[in-house]
Amino acid sequence: MKKTTLIIFGLLTTTGLLAQTKPNKNIPAVVQNAFTKQYPTVKSVKWDKEETDFEASFDLNGLDNSALFDAKGNLLETETEIKELPKEILAYIKAKYPNQKITESAKITNAKGQVSYEAEIKGKDLIFDSKGAFLKEIKK
């Protein structure tokens, strides 16, 4: 009985350790610390380097999220998956891209708190301002 209890305890302890965010040697500690301070409940994060900045991709409240930090640990922007875009954006896409399906959509908030939206359609990201006005198209 003691042996079984020890095995179960060992498995539970090990599983808990595996679920925690692990430091990434390629990401500066100041950036990782800034992320942990901003998102203390996130246990799993994937890091990517984007030119001179660092992007953390993670799940929060069941939604895909990302946070972009500079090399000093300053949060530059966040991107959060959304289920539905504002009606102005949907109307624009329906008019300009009538046969295209939106494959992903996100709300982007920059460091100043300014909001924009992104809609992904076949081979393109469409960017809109906070009121739903079209800003630009980015080919992938």
Instruction: Indicate if 69 and 92 belong to the same structural domain.
Output: no
Contact call for residues 65 and 79 (beta carbons, < 8 A): yes
What's the pTM? 0.77
The three-class DSSP label of residue 36 is helix
Q: Give the separation between CA 77 and CA 84, rounded to whole angstroms.
A: 20
Q: Which domain holds residue 114?
A: 82-140
Instruction: Indicate if 94 and 56 belong to the same structural domain.
Output: no
Predicted confidence (pLDDT) per residue in 68-104, tens digit: 999 999 999 999 999 999 999 999 999 999 999 999 9
Report yes or no on 7 lying in a domain.
Answer: no
Which portions of the chain are predicted below pLDDT 50?
1-21
Contact call for residues 22 and 3 (beta carbons, < 8 A): no
Segment (H or E) for 127 = strand 124-129
